[in-house]
Amino acid sequence: MQFTTFGKFAALMVAFGLVVGCSSKGAQSTGTGAVDPNAGYSSSASGAGTSGVSSEEAALRAITTFYFEFDSSELKPEAMRALDVHARDLKSSGQRVVLEGHTDERGTREYNMALGERRAASVQRYLVLQGVSASQLELVSYGEERPAAMGSNEEAWAQNRRVELRK
């Protein structure tokens, strides 16, 4: 009887291993079980378009939302690539932009307002280091007050931990 129970357990573990090993990911993961909103942006140029601008540069220019890890204001490498393109544009145009800092719903209102401000300041610091005038950049923190996604799960929280660059 004990061998039969062990045999069933072993068969169950093998089946579980096959299911886990053969399943497709669907979305790229950050390694913490969270979906990475920045996933899918390539770091290699895809060639030049008809206007002489690479398709990668055009794709990076289209990114105006930059995501952060939980309780962090540290920029991700993919955000830096997009911010490099925005910095070149801002330096040449002199245009003013607003950097809106956001957080997920976890934490107190006061803490989230401060974290949203730290995130916006992180983007500001990076742009200034790339040569953008600080007078072109306005910082606003909304904390948890303007969620991009509703819900109390990691997927929604990941979409809400962001800075939006508004022209």
Q: Where are the domains of the chain?
A: 54-160
User: Stretch 109-137: mean pLDDT, rounded?
Assistant: 98
Instruction: Give the pLDDT band (50/70/90) at residue 5.
Output: low
Architecture of the domain delimited by 54-160: 2-Layer Sandwich (3.30)
Report pLDDT digits (tens) over 20-62: 444 333 334 444 444 555 554 443 333 444 456 789 999 999 9
pLDDT at 36: 53
pLDDT at 46: 39
Q: Which residue has the tokens 């357990």?
A: 9
pTM of the model: 0.70
Measured between alpha carbons, how far apart are the two ends of the chain, in Å?
71
Report pLDDT digits (tens) over 87-103: 999 999 999 999 999 99
The torsion angles phi and psi of 95, rounded to 5 degrees, stand at: -65, 150
State the number of CA atoms in the 13 A half-sphere of 154 facing the CB. Answer: 10
